[in-house]
Structure 1
Amino acid sequence: MKKIEAIFIDRDGTIGGDDTVHYPGEFDLFPYTSTEINRLKRDGIRIFSFTNQPGISRGLAKEKDFEEELLAFGFDDVYMCPHDYNEGCSCRKPNTGMLIEAQKDYELCLENGAKIGDRWSDMVAASRVGSINILVRTGAGESSLSEHYDKLQDVKIDYIANNLLDAID
């Protein structure tokens, strides 16, 4: 089994909240999230936030507020797409821009990384760079499996977890 260098974890529906966006100050972590992030860090694994936040481009929130919140949760760094889905950027999942940026910033081998998320777009982005793919059933996880099955046909999901705790175990 290969040694995991870094884990990229989605925000909404994966570390807390549900299948909708809750802006900073309104977002609640799942009770086990902080403990699990700290456990991974003690094991020497870098933990990165990997999140689409289109509300930023719509003026509903500030990128700085998301960054401060996520760093306070224990993430080593934050990779965030602030663009709306129709802006055509390279960073918005399922594109790989955020992963490639982290690879350059930290000299990572993305094949030695894992991605944990609740949406089909998380799985597609991780698949495109050869990372381990773990889908959680929390948040939009169940609907990703049932309603978006067509988008996952050519994607290898390595594990379907009940939640973040199960994914990390």
Structure 2
Amino acid sequence: MKLIILDRDGVINHDRNDYVKSADECVPVEGSIEAIARLHQAGYTVVVATNQSGLARGKFDLDDLEAIHHKLTRLVEEQGGEISAIFYCPHAPEDNCKCRKPKTGLLDAIEAEFNTSVEGVRFIGDTLRDIQAGESKACLPILVKSGKGSATLADLQQTTDPELAALLTRLPVFENLAAVADDLLSQQD
């Protein structure tokens, strides 16, 4: 199985400081929907792993979240692709759960659901939490500059933490998900 894991907000759809609270507020990043469809058509199993603390904070409810995910799934299907599964953490940071990235609970759940290891699997995100979760499970993290990615990159470039500085030296960075898909698919030709 060629598995690929995507963060949601900032990678697939535009992030919002006040949370993506409804399907109407879920606006795809340019080229992301088509990128998912192209990856699926090339044989990738596309899975989403996303922190959704807005649930715990009462910013939106489960029906709203399901409507957002239905919209994204439908848009990808309209382009001839498929999102195989969406895993989300509903907890707030202070809940200290096992599933909120940078912890690995969502990745553990993906391994259990698909009866596979995520070691060596590409994990595309826009925050340090995404990258750290991927690193913890021996994924191949990729940073996109969309969403919070440019700020994440700037922080990594200015860090005095030797561990984070070393992370930056091995971290592929792309403009957005479409650019990642272009790169991955060009390697298959």
The TM-score, its normalising length taken from structure 2, stands at 0.79
Residues 156-167 of structure 1 aligned to structure 2 (within 5 Å): 157-167=170-180
- Of 8, 20, 23 in structure 1, the residue corresponding to residue 21 of structure 2 is 23
Distance 1:134-1:109 versus aligned 2 partners, 3 A rule: same
Distance 1:76-1:69 versus aligned 2 partners, 3 A rule: farther
Asked whether the 8 Å contact 1:10–1:122 carries over to 2, the reply is yes
Over aligned residues, Cα RMSD in angstroms?
Answer: 2.0
Q: Match for residue 41 of structure 2?
A: 42
CA distance in structure 2 between the aligned counterparts of 1:98 and 1:111, rounded to whole angstroms: 14
Q: What SS class does the counterpart of residue 115 from structure 1 fall into?
A: strand
1:7-39 CA distance string (max 9 Å, x none): 111111111213533222211002312211111
Q: Match for residue 186 of structure 2?
A: none
Task: Give the structure with higher Rg (CA).
Answer: 2
Runs of 4+ in 1 over 4 A off after TM superposition: none
1:44-79 CA distance string (max 9 Å, x none): 211111111111011111234324432442321111
Q: Match for residue 82 of structure 1?
A: 90
Q: What SS class does the counterpart of residue 123 from structure 2 fall into?
A: strand
Q: Match for residue 59 of structure 1?
A: 58
Residues 1-169 of structure 1 aligned to structure 2 (within 5 Å): 5-18=2-15, 20=17, 21-25=19-23, 26-74=25-73, 75-147=83-155, 149=159, 150=161, 152-153=164-165, 155=167, 157-169=170-182
Higher deviation after alignment, 153-162 or 84-93: 153-162
CA distance in structure 1 between the aligned counterparts of 2:137 and 2:128, rounded to whole angstroms: 15
Higher deviation after alignment, 62-71 or 36-45: 62-71
Asked whether the 8 Å contact 2:3–2:47 carries over to 1, the reply is yes
Higher deviation after alignment, 28-37 or 92-101: 28-37
Q: What SS class does the counterpart of residue 110 from structure 1 fall into?
A: coil
Q: Give unpaired runs (5+ residues) of structure 2.
A: 74-82, 183-189
CA distance in structure 2 between the aligned counterparts of 1:108 and 1:64, rounded to whole angstroms: 30
The TM-score, its normalising length taken from structure 1, stands at 0.88
CA distance in structure 2 between the aligned counterparts of 1:108 and 1:158, rounded to whole angstroms: 24
Identity of aligned residues (%): 29
Distance 1:81-1:87 versus aligned 2 partners, 3 A rule: same
**Paired AA for residue 12 in structure 1:** D
Higher deviation after alignment, 35-44 or 69-78: 69-78
Of Structure 1 and Structure 2, which has the larger fraction of its residues in helix? 2
Distance 1:31-1:145 versus aligned 2 partners, 3 A rule: closer
